[in-house]
Amino acid sequence: MELIKVGEKTYYLKNPTNIGIYKIDDVNVYLIDSGNDKDAGRKILKIIEENNWQVKGIINTHSNADHIGGNKIIQDRTNCLILNSDLERCFTENPLLEPSLLYGGYPFKELKNKFLMAKSSKVVSIDNNLPNGLEYFNLKGHFLDMIGIKTSDDVYFLGDSLFSQETINKYHLFFIYDVKEYLNSLDYLESLNGKIYIPSHGEVTDNIKDLIKANRNKIKEISDKIYDICVKKSTFEEILKQIFDDYKLDMNTNQYVLIGSTIKSYLSYLKDMGKITFEFKDNKMIWKTID
């Protein structure tokens, strides 16, 4: 991890999941997310100690395992507060909910891994507990009730509301819980006029316009692709296979539930938009376009 200063009080740790740090005084800091596991938590604590800081609290943008994985070890060692929105709090305190949601049932052993299921930590609501100098704003879509954080230095931490061009080019699909809300969040981001923007997965930038466009265009591309597949009247598994084949992706356990859940979200989005519907035939659910 590399510590980088981006404002008078604002820093971030460059990491596969970028970690925010905000100084509320000369000694005490708040983290924005905590990395993907206890090893990330240890590395964060080492940097905190090297700078003679103390962790007063952690703000989680959302409850995915790669954003809360360091919570437990940091909280155990510092007794810090952990803040997030009330709905995300349920998942942070009960992390079995994440693989259960993704799978759509009780998760089998291979799904209870550190990439999908963090250790539980104790959380309080972000409302009325956010320190001076920090604001939060809603960024629903990627997950149930994700938030972003703005610091007094006009630095915006964006969680997983934007994915990097590299991720888009390489993987094409990124996890989305609610496609409509994700697009609404892109519209909101487009209205911001911040100094610096820090996506959780990607490079820090002073301009997110092109990245917003790239994310929006990829969502339209995937929506159109699923619509075209449904012309042939297809089951969910057939749609999923076609998507993986078209984008030359390799199926594994994690990808099956992450991308599978995302495809279901696209199907719901297209259904609610009145573009596709379904029927049951031979005890199979068949998705089809609306003529």
- The H or E element spanning position 90 is helix 86-93
pLDDT over 90 at 291, yes or no: no
Average pLDDT value for residue range 200-221: 95
Q: Over the stretch 27-75, which tens digit does the pLDDT of each residue have?
A: 999 999 999 999 999 999 999 999 999 999 999 999 999 999 999 999 9
Phi (first) and psi of residue 289, to 5 degrees: -75, 160
Half-sphere exposure of 273 (CA within 13 A, CB side): 15
CATH topology identical between 2-219 and 222-289? no
Q: Which pLDDT value is given to residue 20?
A: 97
CA-based nearest residue to 55, from 31, 20, 82: 31
What are the residue boundaries of the structural domains of the chain, listed by start?
2-219, 222-289
3-state SS, residue 80:
coil
Beta strands in 18-105 (DSSP E): 19-23, 28-32, 54-59, 81-84
Q: Over the stretch 100-155, which tens digit does the pLDDT of each residue have?
A: 999 999 999 999 999 999 999 999 999 989 999 999 999 999 999 999 999 999 99
- In the chain, pLDDT over 90 holds for what percent of residues? 96
pTM of the model: 0.94
Q: What is the distance of C-alpha 288 from the center of its chain?
A: 30
State the CATH class of domain 222-289.
mainly alpha
pLDDT: which is higher, 107 or 15: 107
State the fold for domain 2-219.
Metallo-beta-lactamase; Chain A (3.60.15)
